[in-house]
Amino acid sequence: MSGRRKFVTGNWKMHGLGGSLSEIASIAASAAALDDVDVALCLPATLIARAINAAPSLMIGAQDCHQERNGPHTGCISAAMLAEIGAMLTIVGHSERRQDQQESDADIKAKAEAARDAGLSVILCCGESEVEHDAGQAVARVTAQIAASMPGGAAADWLTIAYEPIWAIGTGKVPGMDDVAEMHGAIRTKLRELIGKEADAIRILYGGSMNGGNAAQLLAIPDVDGGLVGGASLSAEKFVPIIEAAAKA
């Protein structure tokens, strides 16, 4: 046993209006009934405060933050703003941000550090493209990404790593279990090189088409400490079975 408590986080991306609050409350009620698993939802900024009121037992977070505390950054939200409305954590470096907003490893490192300074926990994402995967470059790409994105003062009480094979996100494709084990093991090794013994306490999540049917198998792999779940986190019907699998893992 690793001693690391399982952690399942839902990333709602650009989904969710006020009518979704009842679904969030339902997820929270089911999660509260389970032991040995931490559960969070990273929601659109417009839902965060309302979700905290509707589901106070659930960890509610954001999907991104700006690296500056304030300034001329139209349309952006700082970590301090998120903390002020009650968010507990934020994702940084999701592949969709890296690709669509051209965020660099340096940007992501700065965002993680800004979030920590504001008192937020951080889920730092890494992952390879299908081209990199097919070329046998997945491990090299991901470990280089982690090294360049790693925030100063990294520690298990506020930092989580999420591995997301980009080609598996929302596609239904899942890497072979041996591939997942190899990657998570390589991430753990890289973390040890970067931060020493503290690496053994940091949780590494798998993100990429995790669902109720494959969660138990994925969560049984060494160094898979939970999941970063996209589409399947949008409803209690699909998300709760993943949480239940984590509680039993």
In angstroms, the CA 204 to CA 185 distance is: 10
Handedness of CA 172, 175, 176, 178 (dihedral sign): negative
User: Which of 156, 79, 78, 66 is closest to 120 using CA atoms?
Assistant: 79
CA distance 39 to 239: 10
The verdict on whether 66 is a catalytic residue reads: no
- Joined together, the tokens standing for residue 191 give 């973390």
Angstrom distances, CA of residue 201 to CA of 123, 160, 171, 196: 14, 10, 31, 10
The burial class, CB within 10 Å (0-12 / 13-18 / 19+), for 134 is: exposed
Instruction: Say how far residue 20 (Cα) sits from the centre of its chain.
Output: 21
Q: Scanning the structure block, which residue is given the tokens 């907003």?
A: 101
- Catalytic residue, chosen from 94, 96, 128, 133, is 94
CA dist 79 → 3, 18, 86, 90 (Å): 30, 23, 11, 8
Cα-Cα-Cα-Cα dihedral sign, residues 55, 56, 59, 64? positive
Question: Of 23, 103, 132, 164, which is the active-site residue?
Answer: 164
Q: Active site includes 68?
A: no
Residues annotated as catalytic are 94, 164
